[in-house]
A and B are shown apart, each in its own frame.
Chain A
Amino acid sequence: MNDDKRHIVSLLVENEFGSLSRIAGLFSARGYNIHSLSVAPTSDDSISRMTLVTFCTDAKASQLMKQLDKLVDVINVKDLTGETHIEREMLLLKVKSTPKQRDELKRLTDIFRARIIDVTDTTYTIELTGPTEKILAFIDSLGKIKIIEQVRSGALGISRGSESLEIKK
């Protein structure tokens, strides 16, 4: 259990009926957890790109890659964990903003290069993009400020350099 590591996996998948449940189903059937999952079409809208984060041992991750690759709908799959890659996640955060807290909120937003995207009498809604650690650090830094609602996209990943999941196939 304690050898579990965070693995970030990129997938290119046929944008077809049932593809997503095939992938989700594989995780539950084979005893993997999905920590986060994001899906959207690519420039070719018959293909979806997914980024998935799971925690497991390296051996289980390599088995997972093979199982995912075996799914007929999966065009390409890669575990980005071991190679240089970039990760981003987006956070939308609605917090209570009492007049006293507004300055503090603005300051934190600046430090983390976040943006305030909606304001009411009593709330601020803040947008932040960055690696997962940055998102977590930001949430942490809020201290006593009350979070009303927190929406995270889950991590997106892309490899550095000229590598592409797309041209390989």
Chain B
Amino acid sequence: MKLSGSEIIIESLKKEGVDYIFGYPGGAVLHIYDALFAAKDIKHVLVRHEQGATHAADGYARACNKPGVVLVTSGPGITNCVTGIATAHMDSIPMIVISGQVSRQYVGSDAFQEADATGITRPICKHNFLINDRESIADTFRKAFIIATTGRPGPVIIDIPKDLTDPNVKIAFEYKKNIKIRSYKVKTNEDENKIEDAAKLLCLAKKPMIYTGGGVILSKASKELIKLTRLLKYPITNTLMGLGAYPSSDDQFLGMLGMHGTYEANMAMHDCDVLLAVGARFDDRVTGDTKQFCPKAKIIHIDIDPSSISKIIEVDHSLIGDTKSILKKLTSFVAKHKRNINNHELEKWWKKIKSWQRKNCLSYKKSKDVIKPQSVIETLHKLSKGKAFVTSDVGQHQMWVAQYYKFDKPNRWINSGGLGTMGFGLPAAIGAQLAYPKEEVICVTGEASILMCIQELSTCLQYGLPIKVINLNNRYMGMVRQWQEFFYEGRYAMSYMDAIPNFAKLAESFGHIGMVIDKPENLEKDLKSALSQKNRLVFVDVITDQTENVYPMIVSGKGHHEMHLAPSANEDIELA
């Protein structure tokens, strides 16, 4: 079979089982678009800005654990992708970005729409390729998919000069599935003795704690994690990225940890004597002051990425490999050594934890006059029965979803944790909705964030995506305002937006349903009617309390035991 470069690209994508491409055309990729025109099995989703394409592909990948695919043109096409690539990279999301490049004869000549795509993206991706000859197109695609989806996943960029996609030059096509990349190594198996040692240590704990992150979701190890945790009967906390891997409604779950984590999760971290960290990377938003992090604990760390081990916190016991398979083995070794668990001590530990839980750190002052943002999320959780795919942008609203939408399943919570990218939520919801057309997809956003990728409302109309956009409109960059209230004596420099659009009308002009909720008594009934629109996108502008803050809060650089609690939970802001 002889194919052109463009056809090879399409065939390669088919061989990889790609069903969606998120993209935007331009000169350097017109040959590829022409080949795509004829392709039936692959659907192309036309976004309105290339950043939207990357976030949509990312949201798709996070929802269904398959790599998201992006196709953009050279120059401004690929530079518009930078934020989305970096977002995916920080959260280890598998993604393939195909960018057109000017023809080889022009490379390096500052040609029209030429940008050094591989140079620009090098520090923000797992790997990138600039294809130099037609013969290596197929192999490069195979390599890119292997690299993006194995080990610690991440985005891979393939930059391809236009002349290589010329429809008139055809070469033989063969797709070698089992290609070897000699310099690429992924350690998947860990020494069983080391796993058994970890099991023994775990069973000797008096004040154990399990702390898990996005790695559990990426390796589809939720079932294994649940099994191990229930067998041990130990308390467990999830990072922002790990929410849903362990059911939030379970009694052993202490909530999220870290800067805006629960009192009980953070206190248990501080006091524990053995910590099992799984697929988590000890991010500074999680650890707080590293010198005061789990000061009494022996730490076991399971991760696929050797460079995550002892990067921030020196660990005592590392298990490197695929989280799923290590958790499985660990569970069987725990079963063998379980009789060593000191149940009396464990009971005492749980008593202590229960006393922390009694602080009720997520309680908040209810109001009849203004809508409390927390109550919006609680109502959403109730109405969607906790089963929706929820994406968010970045800010207070993001933290409130993490705290109050009690995720019970992995992949349902889709947010930019590592890079913290405003503008992520709406396009990510597009990807999630396409991955699961029948499921409820909700984008919880803020009036500042939503404007960063608002143009994607137009994409939603084109593909009939019935996303529910819930805009927690506090007329402030709430998270910025909160920091300014706490650390800058209330000088609200540039965190107030005094020219906010009429979002409901804006949504209507995009062809969707727009709605405003501004009274607490209407909240549930109006949200219900919004969610009942099964075939339409509904943009719900919820006017919320302007002054609400996210609690608990650990100020940067403080220890886990030094939390600020909400004034309503304790009379004044007190240092716990």
Q: Which A residues fall within an 8 A CB radius of B? A: 13-14, 17-18, 21-22, 25, 29, 59, 62-63, 66-67, 69-70, 72-75, 169
A14-B183, A21-B122 as given contacts; A69 in contact with B127, CB under 8 Å: no
B307 within 8 A of A: yes
Additional A-B contacts beyond A25-B122, A66-B307 (19; CB < 8 A): A13-B183, A17-B118, A18-B122, A18-B128, A21-B119, A29-B123, A63-B307, A67-B307, A69-B185, A69-B307, A70-B305, A70-B306, A70-B307, A72-B126, A72-B181, A74-B183, A75-B182, A75-B183, A169-B182
A69 is contacted by which of B123, B130, B306 (Cβ under 8 Å)?
Answer: B306
B180: min CB distance to chain A, Å: 11
- Chain B residues near A13: list those with CB within 8 A: 183
In contact, A18 and B118 (Cβ under 8 angstroms): yes
Total residues of chain B contacting the partner, CB 8 A: 21
Segment 305-358 of B: residues with Cβ below 8 Å from A:
305-307, 309-311
Q: Are B122 and A22 in contact (CB under 8 A)?
A: yes
Q: Mark B191-225, 1 if CB is under 8 A from A, else 0.
A: 00000000000000000000000000000000000
Contact assessment for A17 and B183 in the assembled complex, using a CB-CB cutoff below 8 Å = no
Q: Take A18-B128, A66-B306, A66-B307 as given contacts and tell me if A73 and B183 are in contact as well, using a CB distance cutoff of 8 Å.
A: yes
CB distance from B233 to the nearest CB of A (A): 34
CB distance from B448 to the nearest CB of A (A): 29
B132: interface (CB < 8 Å): yes
A74 and B182 CA atoms in complex are apart in Å by 9
Q: Compute how far the CA of A29 lies from the CA of B185 in the bound complex, rounded to whole angstroms.
A: 22
Q: Quick check: is B147 within 8 A (CB to CB) of the other chain?
A: yes
Task: Say yes or no for B184: interface residue by CB 8 A criterion.
Answer: yes
B residues less than 8 Å from A59 (CB atoms):
310
Question: Considering the chains assembled together, what is the distance between the CA atoms of A94 and B183 in angstroms?
Answer: 41
Q: A14-B183, A66-B307 are in contact. Are A72 and B130 (CB under 8 A)?
A: no
Complex partner residue of A72 from B132, B183, B306, B311, CB under 8 angstroms: B183
Which B residues lie within 8 Å of A72 (CB)? 126-127, 147, 181, 183-184
- Residue pair A63, B311 in contact (C-beta under 8 Å): yes
Contacts of B123 in A (CB 8 A): 25, 29
Q: A66-B306, A66-B307 are in contact. Are A17 and B130 (CB under 8 A)?
A: yes
Q: How far is the CA of A70 from the CA of B307 in the complex (A)?
A: 8
Q: How far is the CA of A119 from the CA of B310 in the complex (A)?
A: 55
Least CB distance from B95 to A in Å reads 15
Q: Which 5 A-B pairs have the closest CB atoms?
A: A66-B307, A75-B183, A72-B127, A66-B306, A29-B123
Closest to A66 in B: B307
- Least Cβ distance of B291 to chain A in Å? 15
Q: Which residues of B sit under 8 angstroms from A169, Cβ to Cβ?
A: 182
With A and B bound together, what is the CA distance between A67 and B185 in angstroms?
A: 13
Please name all residues of chain B whose beta carbon is closer than 8 Å to the beta carbon of A69 when the two chains form the complex.
185, 306-307
Closest to B305 in A: A70
Q: CA separation between A169 and B132, bound complex, in Å? A: 27
> Which A residues touch B182, using CB under 8 A?
75, 169
Q: Once bound together, how far apart are the Cα atoms of A66 and B128, in whole Å?
A: 19
- Cα distance A74–B123 in the bound complex, in angstroms: 15
Q: Which residues of A contact B126 (CB under 8 A)?
A: 72
A77 to chain B, nearest CB (A): 10
Whole-angstrom distance between the Cβ of B310 and the nearest chain A Cβ: 8
How far apart are the CA atoms of A18 and B306 in the complex, in Å?
23
Please tell me if the beta carbons of A17 and B132 are within 8 angstroms of each other in the complex: yes
CA distance A70 to B186 in the complex (A): 9
**A18 pairs with B130, CB closer than 8 A:** yes
